[in-house]
Amino acid sequence: MIIPHPILGPRDAQEFVYLGDASLLNRPDWQAEDASSAFHDYQYQRNNPAGVHRELWFHEQGDRSWLVVTRDTTTHEILKAELARDVALAGETAK
C-alpha cells in the first residue's frame, strides 16, 4: 500500500506504524459522570467496518507525523490521507 502523505507525497506503508480507528483521537472527558464506561468504549470497542475506515498511521520511519488515512478495508484502496493534527483541530474525527 502507498500512502499519499500530505507533506511528503507518496510513501510506502512500510514506513508507518498502524494504530487503528481514528476515533481514538476523541479521548473522552475524564471528569464526566459516565467517564468509566466512556473510557471502556474508547479503549476496547471498535466499529470495525467492512468498507471505508478512517484510521491512524504514524510515520515512524519518516517525519514522525500522525496521519488520518481513509482506506477501504475490503479492497485496501487508500482514498485520502490527512495530518491527524489538522483533523483533530478541525474537530471532525470519525465518530
Residues 25-64 interacting with another protein (rule: CB under 8 A)? 37, 40-41, 43-50, 53, 55
Q: CA end-to-end span of the chain, whole Å?
A: 25
Query: What is the three-class DSSP state of 1?
Result: coil
Question: Using the rule CB under 8 A, is 20 a contact of another protein?
Answer: yes
The distance of closest approach from Cβ of residue 2 to another protein in the complex, given in angstroms and rounded to an integer, is: 11
CA nearest neighbour of 84 among 23, 8, 15: 23
User: Using CB under 8 A, which of the segments 25-33, 66-74, 82-90 binds another protein?
Assistant: 66-74
The stretch near another protein (CB under 8 A) out of 26-34, 60-68, 73-81, 83-91 is 73-81
For residue 85 the three cell numbers come to 493534527
> Measuring CA to CA, which residue among 65, 41, 68, 64 is closest to residue 54?
68
Contacting positions for another protein (CB under 8 A): 1, 13-14, 18-21, 37, 40-41, 43-50, 53, 55, 71, 73-76
